[in-house]
Amino acid sequence: MDAILPAVAEELLCEIRQSFQETTQISDELLLSLKFIFGPTALYALDLVDQRSVSHVTSPSGRSVFQVIGSSGKMYTCFASCHYCSCPAFSFSVLRKNDNMLCKHILAVYLSQAMGLCQELTVTDTQMCDILFPKED
């Protein structure tokens, strides 16, 4: 994991990675641990992973972001390295209220990476600029 999560969350994601590599499943114990640490966000994030909604987007210049298709069908841009997501829930629950460590989209990024289920996409530098600096409607 690139960003710094609390040690217990880091360890849990490492255990999920190891478990998924060995059995292609997450044990009930690990699922309960996910729910304990991340609350209801864990279930929503796992649903996004199941739907293969997470893409790791890279460009020839070396820039890299994650895009997650949310449950509403809207695309959100996530930067796992600094725990940032463009979704409204991140702004409200993580930044303003500080009652969640991260939103379901960022957790889905971490889980999809741990489980090896993140889609890899390569775009041009121009397309990456459009992702990083979207035009306002």
Query: Tens digits of per-residue pLDDT, 26-50?
Result: 999 999 999 999 999 999 999 999 9
Phi, psi of 23 (to 5 degrees): -125, -5
- Between CA 118 and CA 109 the distance in angstroms is 7
What six digits make up the tokens of 115?
A: 């489980």
The predicted model scores a pTM of 0.88
pLDDT at 4: 56
At 99, is the pLDDT very low, low, confident or very high (cuts 50, 70, 90)?
confident
pLDDT score at 1: 43
Q: Mean pLDDT of all residues in the chain?
A: 90
pLDDT above 60: residue 62: yes
